[in-house]
Amino acid sequence: MTAGQNKTALVVSAHSGDFVWRAGGAIALYASRGWQIKIVCLSFGERGESAKLWREGGMTLERVKALRREEALTAAATLGGEIEFFDCGDYPMNFTAANLDRLVDIYRSLQPAFVLTHSLEDPYNFDHPLATRVAQEARIVAQAHGHKPGGTVLGAPPVFLFEPHQTEQCNWKPQVLLDITPVWDKKRQAFEVMAAQEYLWEYYTRVALNRGVQAARNSEKKNIKYAEAYQRLFPQVTEDLQ
């Protein structure tokens, strides 16, 4: 899609770091084109994704949540997105009916042109496919004319599933390769905000470089260095196969 006023997109992230590692390039790229990018962060990752913080003396659950919240706020601002926290808990995540209603309202008010979220499967982290399920459920409810009748219903925004940590174990395939070379510096800068998960900085730098090689090989754009990969959830509807 091209630049344009009032263009919007939605990112549904299970934890405070997920949108940075997996979709930070897309967020920065579309924000640079003038889009409004809304990030819904379901959990701070306070129990299962903050081991570095828990190793510090005197740490409490509320302190961990506060630190992860500040990281996510700064990272989102660095990328050019806006973020909203649901605080659904972590390990396990507790997504309630009230949370669903809130997410449906976001879909309807935002009217996103596309949605980014997690893979359908992840045997290493049950919060990730749960985030995908509720993102999908909210999308479907937002399309229902009988839900809060009289409101503006959602159309049919395509859903793209960003790359999980171990693709082979998640039955995920890279069907879309997005060139993020122009905004890579912003994504890397956002990485370095996420101090609680510093061990992932170089890992996801290598992922971006590998996907960049694949993107260049599968196109005429040989200057691509960094890319993100996505899997489409629904068929692409088009009038042109070019």
pLDDT cut 90: percent of the chain above it: 87
- What is the pLDDT at residue 5? 63
Count CB atoms within 10 A of the CB of residue 5: 7
Could you report the per-residue pLDDT of 14-61, keeping only the tens digit for each? 999 999 999 999 999 999 999 999 999 999 988 988 888 888 888 899
Phi then psi dihedrals of residue 133, to 5 deg? -60, -45
Could you report the per-residue pLDDT of 135-170, keeping only the tens digit for each? 999 999 999 999 999 989 999 999 999 999 999 999
Asked if 67 and 14 touch (Cβ cutoff 8 Å), the reply is no
- What is the pLDDT at residue 59? 86
For the chain, the 3-state helix, strand and coil shares in percent, each to the nearest 5, are 45, 15, 45
- Across the chain, mean pLDDT equals 94
Does the reported pTM lie above 0.85?
Answer: yes
- Mean pLDDT for 182-188 is 97
Res 195 pLDDT > 60: yes
Structure tokens at 188: 């890397």
Res 201 pLDDT > 70: yes
- What is the pLDDT at residue 52? 86
Model confidence at 3, pLDDT cuts 50, 70, 90, reads: very low
Write the CATH number of the domain with boundaries 8-232: 3.40.50.10320
B/e letters for 49-63, b = 16+ CB within 10 Å, e = fewer, are: bbeebeeeeeeeeee
- Mean pLDDT for 202-214 is 97
Q: Write the DSSP string, 47-75.
A: TTS-HHHHTSTT--HHHHHHHHHHHHHHH
Could you report the per-residue pLDDT of 76-94, keeping only the tens digit for each? 999 999 999 999 999 999 9
- Mean pLDDT for 103-116 is 98
Cα separation values, 119 from 31, 209, 211, 242, Å: 23, 21, 17, 27
Domain ranges of the chain: 8-232
